[in-house]
Amino acid sequence: MGVLDKIAEIEPTEYHLGLLKAKLAKYRAQLLEPEKKSAKGEGFDVLKSGDARVCLIGFPSVGKSTLLSKTTKTESSVGAYEFTTLTAIPGVLEYEGARIQLLDLPGIVQDAAKGRGRGRQVVSVAKTADLILLMIDATKSAEQKKLLEIELEAVGIRLNTKPPDVVFKQKSAGGITINCTVKLTHTDERTIRSILQTYRIHNCDVMIREDVRCPTSTPHLPLKPVTADGHNASRGFGASRITTDEFIDVLLGTRKYIPALTVYNKIDSVSMETLDAMAREGDGRTVMISCEIDLGIDWLLEAIWNELGLVKVYTKRRGEQPDLTDPICLRQGATIETVCHGIHRSLASHFKYALVWGKSSKFNPQPQKVGLSHLVQDEDVVSIFTK
Ligand SMILES: Nc1nc2c(ncn2[C@@H]2O[C@H](COP(=O)(O)OP(=O)(O)OP(=O)(O)O)[C@@H](O)[C@H]2O)c(=O)[nH]1
Ligand SMILES: [K+]
Ligand SMILES: [Mg+2]
């Protein structure tokens, strides 16, 4: 065998990397297993309530409790010392007719996900969120955001990323079938087969319907060790890492895909230059506030509302004006049927048709006559007609 052949044999390929990643992910998955509930864990099992849950994640003393106390009727202890908050404190944000549960949490420390402090418990609560607020002290290091993302990533949370468009079905027999509706340029069938082998999956159907993932804003953080300065220890895997890692995500099935907003607090205490730099670095998901001098809180609430994609719909009786004081609040993707359920449990079974005014009406500003499966949009007015 010539030297070139020897090199070609050793050269790391996507196939080899795939094997290593599958092994690594397998061990990391063991870390993600739900922990046995400890006696000290009381207070963390806060019941979900309202139309959505928003979790406050940040290092100690960034102002999480101050924000909760400011925006809800709940008072959460505020202190100039770290770890003032030791448990999960729920409050209710009332905004545009929606009742959003805001969860204040203890500050986390670096390596929280590895079990330092009670951090692991805290970051695990974030898994139950519909939206995460990464709260940052604007007067402190710009590294905070990256470090928070790493901790969340470590418990299986993918921020601001859509789940991969892959269907995976395990079977009892029949071998492995892999179908791709697109040409794969960032992983290949052999790699996928090798990953399946690592997990001892010998019978399954895999359907892949997308090639390159496009994270919406937060760059994907690979499952790799992090050095003390917060940098990823193994950059340089190239773009090809994305699809292979995400195929492993699908196999594990433990990933949570959650949107996040970055909230810089204490902007009353930074220079104009710093503020300017933060604004320039920020993406569409960054909000700058000061709880102390009451700056930007309204923008934050609006951003939370937009990010949650809540939809409010007004109802109207025949011959009357719509009731604008009491909207029904729904999640994005809600239909006329969801509206019916929001009004009365049995309404859908007597349903004949509905009239909608607003963005979802084909004839806007004129109404459209629609059935139960019609998708409603924010600010629609709906009249339900029964049999
Ligand atoms: N300058 C300034 N200080 C603030 C602001 N918001 C909060 N603080 C102060 O920051 C300190 C910490 O506030 P907390 O609300 O206790 O912070 P926390 O993130 O809940 O802290 P832990 O519960 O310990 O993790 C307090 O002294 C607050 O008064 C702000 O907008 N500007
Ligand atoms: K504090
Ligand atoms: Mg607190």
Q: Which two tokens stand for residue 242?
A: 């994305």
Mean pLDDT, residues 224-243:
37
Burial class (CB in 10 A: 0-12, 13-18, 19+), 32: middle
How far apart are the C-alpha atoms of 290 and 270, rounded to whole Å? 10
pLDDT in tens, 117-150: 677 788 888 999 999 999 999 999 889 999 999 9
**C-alpha 191 to ligand 3 mean position (Å):** 46
Helix (H, G, I), strand (E, B) or coil at 160: coil
Contact in structure between 289 and 66 (CB atoms under 8 Å)? no
Residue 28's pLDDT is: 67
Atom 13, ligand 1: residue with shortest CA distance:
63
Say if ligand 1 is within 6 A of residue 63 CB: yes
ipTM of the complex: 0.99
> Residue type for 166, please?
V
- Please check whether residue 308 is in contact with residue 261, taking contact to mean a CB–CB distance below 8 angstroms: no
Place of tokens 């009742």: 99
Kindly give, in sequence order, each residue whose CB lies less than 8 Å from that of residue 29, ignoring residues fewer than 6 positions away. Answer: 252, 254
Give the pLDDT mean for 379-387. 94
Question: What is the torsion angle, in degrees rounded to the nearest 10, for the CA atoms of residue 273, residue 278, residue 284 and residue 285?
Answer: -140
Assign 33 a pLDDT band (cuts: 50, 70, 90).
Answer: low
Q: State the residue for tokens 């009786």.
A: 317
| pTM flag (> 0.95) | no
pLDDT tens per residue, range 207-221 = 888 775 543 333 333
Interval 37-51: pLDDT, tens: 544 444 477 888 888
13 vs 146, higher pLDDT: 146
**What are the pLDDT digits (tens) for 310-331?**
888 999 988 899 888 888 888 8
Instruction: Please report, as a single letter, which amino acid is at residue 120.
Output: R
| Confidence (pLDDT) at 116 | 64
Any atom of ligand 1 within 6 Å of the Cβ of 144: no
Please identify, by atom number, the ligand 1 atom nearest to the C-alpha of residue 79: 16
Structural domains in the chain plus CATH codes: 52-160+259-307 (3.40.50.300), 166-217+237-255 (no CATH), 311-386 (3.10.20.30)
Q: Which atom of ligand 1 is nearest to the CA of 62?
A: 19
- Cα 334 versus chain centre, distance: 19
pLDDT for 235-274, tens place per residue? Answer: 333 333 456 777 888 887 778 899 999 999 999 999 999 8
334-377 per-position pLDDT tens digit = 899 999 988 888 899 999 999 999 999 999 999 999 999 999 99
Closest CA to 130 of 107, 167, 103: 103
| Amino acid residing at 101 | Q
Question: Ligand 1: which residue has its CA nearest to atom 26?
Answer: 80
Contact 354, 386 (CB under 8 A): no
Question: Which residues have a beta carbon within 5 Å of ligand 2, which is an ion?
Answer: 61, 79, 84
How remote is the CA of residue 82 from the centroid of ligand 3, in Å? 8
How many Cβ atoms are within 10 Å of 114's Cβ, its own excluded?
A: 12
